[in-house]
Amino acid sequence: MKNSDMNYRPWDSNQITREYFDSLLLEMRHIDGLIPSTKLELYGEEFDTPIMMAALSHLDNVRENGMVEMARGAKAANAVNWAGMGDEDEIAAITSTGARTINIIKPYADHNYILKRIEHAENCGVMAVGMDVDHSFGSNGKYDIVLGEEMEPKSLSQLKEYIQSTKLPFIIKGVLSEQDAYKALEAGAKGIVVSHHHGIMDYAVPPLLILPKIAKVIDGQIPIFVDCGVMSGMDVFKALALGADAVSAGRVIMDPLKKNGSEGVKNQIIKMTEELAGVMARTCSKDINHIDSSLIWHKKKWF
């Protein structure tokens, strides 16, 4: 992309993230190749793909009962479903589909409300809960306001309390630094999401650029998930190669959801999983736990 391009926005974190995805090249390895497995084992359960739904919310503007339809599609593809901000009835409706769902709760200023939402999610049968800590501040430096609800940053001690309040795995979303990765481990999190929340801050480092450093901090102790800008099975492969255990796809699901509901979601997940398998086969990657980071070459270093 040239700087003279009318659409070039050097501050746009989503654009920067896309450019970084596209700067990563792959070796091919064929000798001793085999049909790969895309199975994911997560929190004692098995899924057909490491491609998960993103922690979206309020999809009725995309399709009627959009969040429930997305969950149905995830279940049909035997993929992990995620759900973001939504009322208690919606979370209950999502989990009633049978989709194995992770519920991400906002960092509300109301501490007791957070504990209530964790308890409700647990009662609904979600497989894990968590919090998107990157939604604490607005771009004006004041506490964020989301649909009229005030947010606030959470301390390490508060996160520990939320984690200890539930028997479920607790995931911290919005980790984009080694510092927060260390703190997530200290808090007792059972997973993190490396993410800039679809460009919530300009000039944010691309998740895949910092992912190897975060993976070194985590050192296999808990799962690492990645979102932001994942559009294909090739993107998923690159994330897995650099240290992710699974990847969330969001906006790439929107058009299939709008056009064909749960069937469209299912088909998109299957399509991306097949793309992932194709890259795995051509790189001698027998399963998602054996994707070698040495396969990755950085275009800007060599051209």
- The one catalytic residue in 120, 197, 198, 290 is 197
Q: What is the pLDDT of residues 9-55, one digit of tens each?
A: 899 999 999 999 999 999 999 999 999 999 999 999 999 999 999 99
**8 Å CB contact between 40 and 223:** no
Measuring CA to CA, how many Å separate 223 from each of 14, 201, 214, 290?
24, 25, 11, 15
DSSP string, 233-256: HHHHHHHHHTT-SEEEE-HHHHHH
**Owner of token pair 């391009």:** 5
- Among left, alpha and beta (phi > 0; psi -120 to 50; other), residue 109 is alpha
Beta bridge partners of 191: 171
Q: What is the pLDDT of residues 140-180, one digit of tens each?
A: 999 999 989 999 999 999 999 999 999 999 999 999 999 99
CA distance 37 to 4: 44
CA distance 94 to 66: 10
Annotated active-site residue 197? The verdict is yes
pTM: 0.95
| pLDDT score recorded for residue 114 | 98
At residue 245, what is the residue type? D
CATH class, range 13-302: alpha beta
Mean pLDDT, residues 106-119 taken together: 97
* Domain range list for the chain: 13-302
CA distance 63 to 65: 6
Q: With cut-offs at 50, 70 and 90, classify the pLDDT of residue 8.
A: confident
